[in-house]
Chain A
Amino acid sequence: MDIFLQQLANGLTIGSMFALVALGYTMVYGVMKLINFAHGDMVAASAFIGLTIYTQVMGQSTSFGAVIAIFILAAACTACIGIALERFAYRPLREAPRLSAVVSALGASLVIQNGIMLVWGPQMRIFPPLVPEVYWDIGGVVVSLVQVLILGLSLILMVALYIFVEKTRIGAAIRASAIDQDASRLMGINVNNVIALIFIIGSSLGAVGGLFIALYYRGITFNMGWQYGLYAFIAAILGGIGNIPGAMLGGMMLGLFQAFIAGYVSSTWADAFTFILLILILIVRPTGLLGERVAEKV
């Protein structure tokens, strides 16, 4: 029972990080029908940007205000990368065959990854403990303050995003653009702005996810975006790509799945089981858990 509760806590923590990153994949796919393969690398870039802001701008301060500033500045910088990515790597290919955009996405991924290596070097860097290292032992289950913060903040961000998309006017424009871009233009929606906004939101959430990953695992490398990006991508597919609540659910489920595999089977096999899960989902329910439930009349 102890293992169960411990892995439940760990699973929810990594699950919420997957979910934050998965939202970026799913929102971009929802509107553009494009897998943004560079998304994971933006997540990694955010961790390095956060590290530099901590050492160069905040003078290694871990005060509450400094930590908040690190998160906001890193998210803003990553959002700028996202805007540039959309503007220069994807927008010129809007009318091109889909494969061209996918190749461009893979290219952008390599550019960002190598960019990180050029600036910060190829060796692993240690991310500072921005949050006090406090642990609680609750009946044999150890939970850290970092874990509580990651889970809590992720949930707040996800609820905020959900309300924004479902209840606001701009959210309605996002949903409409995801369904039919030309019809949205006829409604007076500036689809280019919607797409830019999607990249800003997706990159910022991914940036927060990247900082959480850095805080939780501490070691960051230039190519870590590939691994975490892949997990988040699987989470997005698990939940139904293009579906925002699906990405949240898929992230949480994948986090729990990996934690329980690590706890009950073996942590070295966690990746293998993750891909087996992906294959099973693709065979049994290719639209994901919350994928399109309504058949549209044509």
Chain B
Amino acid sequence: MSNSPLIEIKDLEVAYGSIDAIKGISLEVHKGEIVTILGANGAGKTTTMRTISQLHKAKAGSIMFKGVELTKLPPHKIVGMGLSQSPEGRRVFGILTVEENLMLGAFSQKKLNKKTLKWVYDLFPRLEERRKQLAGTLSGGEQQMLAIGRSLMSDPEMLLLDEPSLGIAPILVKAIFKQIKQIASEGVTVLLVEQNAKAALKLADRGYVLDVGRIGLSGPADELLASEKVQEAYLGKKS
């Protein structure tokens, strides 16, 4: 683990109109880590992710990525810095083909890197089989693979994954989580937002628990997994 974090969020506050969604959170992710943000519906997980990518502007606080302040940048500049996001609900371009979606993932690159495309197809062979198919005709799990593959096409140093298990058959969730581990082992730092706390904590090195706009708990993933509080609140175990 290097000394300065790859991304460092400090006292971040985000509001929708007059409603505060994020009330001052701080977190950091170091190079090579898999870090997860857990929390119930409405805790502010997706808002945090959207704010990191600048799709939503922060009210206060700072987000430093590789020493650059992101909150001052427009959203389209973020991916070019090596910070890519696979958004909640997949958001694939449904009326374009799988391959066209992947090409758009590489939009921030001056030239398409054939190696990256091959890497993505190796990670998700299903995408190569269906490369001429319209993305909207894929199953939910396949669309999630496409969303992750698309976000990898920019050769990112860090990947933001927002709810990759949402609305997907359990067997595919397993396969996708396995590939996330693979992606991380190949040197991509991962920040993972999940409602599926158990699966996320098994995968991650560390975790933060978001509770209505604030960080409740944080720590190494195995500690959180064993913590009674987390078990009660997010793993559905009765104490």
**A interface list, Cβ under 8 A from B:** 169, 172-173, 175-176, 179-180, 182-191, 292, 294-298
Q: Tell me if A175 and B96 are in contact (CB < 8 A).
A: yes
Q: Which 3 residue pairs of A and B lie closest in terms of their CB atoms, listed nearest first? A: A188-B108, A296-B94, A185-B75
How near does chain A come to B95, taking the closest CB pair, in angstroms?
5
Q: A179-B93, A292-B95, A296-B95 known; A186 and B84 CB under 8 Å? A: yes
Chain B residues 116 to 169 lying within 8 A of chain A, measured CB to CB, are: 134, 136-140, 143, 150-151, 154
Number of cross-chain contacts by CB at 8 Å: 81
Q: Tell me which residues across on chain A come within 8 A of B107, comparing CB atoms.
A: 169, 172-173, 176, 187-189
Partner of A295, one of B89, B136, B139: B136
B39 within 8 A of A: no
| Alpha-carbon distance between A180 and B134 when the two chains are bound, in angstroms | 15
The closest CB in chain B to the CB of A180 belongs to: B91
Q: Are A294 and B94 in contact (CB under 8 A)?
A: yes
A297 touches B87 (CB 8 A): no
Q: How far is the CA of A176 from the CA of B78 in the complex (A)?
A: 17
Q: Add 10 more A-B contacts to A173-B107, A183-B87, A185-B55 (CB < 8 A).
A: A175-B93, A179-B94, A179-B95, A182-B91, A184-B104, A185-B76, A186-B87, A187-B107, A190-B74, A294-B134
**Nearest chain-B residue to A183 (Cβ)?**
B91
When the two chains form their complex, are residues A172 and B95 in contact, meaning their CB atoms are under 8 A apart?
A: no
Candidates B79, B89, B96, B103; contact of A186 at CB < 8 Å: B79
Contacts of A172 in B (CB 8 A): 100, 103-104, 107
When chains A and B are docked, how far (Å) is the Cα of A184 from the Cα of B87?
Answer: 11
CB distance from B187 to the nearest CB of A (A): 21
Task: Give Cα A173–Cα B96 distance, bound, in whole angstroms.
Answer: 12
Contact at A186–B95, with CB atoms within 8 Å?
no
9 contacts between A and B (CB under 8 A): A169-B107, A172-B107, A179-B96, A183-B91, A183-B93, A185-B76, A188-B154, A191-B76, A297-B143
Interchain CB contact under 8 A, B80 and A188: yes
B: residues with CB less than 8 A from A are 53, 55, 74-80, 84-85, 87, 89, 91-96, 100, 103-105, 107-108, 134, 136-140, 143, 150-151, 154
Alpha-carbon separation in the docked complex, A181 to B58 (Å): 19
List the A side residues contacting B91 at CB < 8 Å: 180, 182-183, 186
Task: List the A side residues contacting B154 at CB < 8 Å.
Answer: 187-188
Of residues A186, A188, A294, A295, which shows the largest number of chain B Cβ atoms within 10 Å of its Cβ? A186
Interface contact A297-B138, CB-CB below 8 Å: yes
Cβ–Cβ contact B136 & A186, under 8 A:
no
Most A-side CB within 10 Å, residue of B74, B100, B104, B108: B104
Distance between A170 CB and nearest chain B CB, rounded to angstroms: 10
Q: Measured between alpha carbons, how far is A188 from B85 in the docked complex, in Å? A: 11
Q: Does B100 lie within 8 Å of A294, measured CB to CB?
A: no
- CB pair B53 A186 closer than 8 Å: yes
List chain A residues, Cβ under 8 A from B104: 172-173, 176, 184, 187, 189
Nearest CB on B from A246, distance (A): 13
- Give Cα A188–Cα B140 distance, bound, in whole angstroms: 24
Output the least CB separation between A250 and chain B (Å): 19
Q: Which listed residue, B76, B96, B138, B150, touches A189 by the CB 8 Å rule?
A: B76
Interface centre among A184, A185, A191 (most CB of B within 10 A): A185
- Bound Cα distance A188, B54 (Å): 11
**Do A297 and B137 touch (CB < 8 A)?**
yes
CA–CA, A270 to B222, complex, Å?
Answer: 76
Return B92 CB to nearest CB of chain A, in Å.
Answer: 8
A134 vs B229: C-alpha distance in the bound complex, in angstroms?
Answer: 88
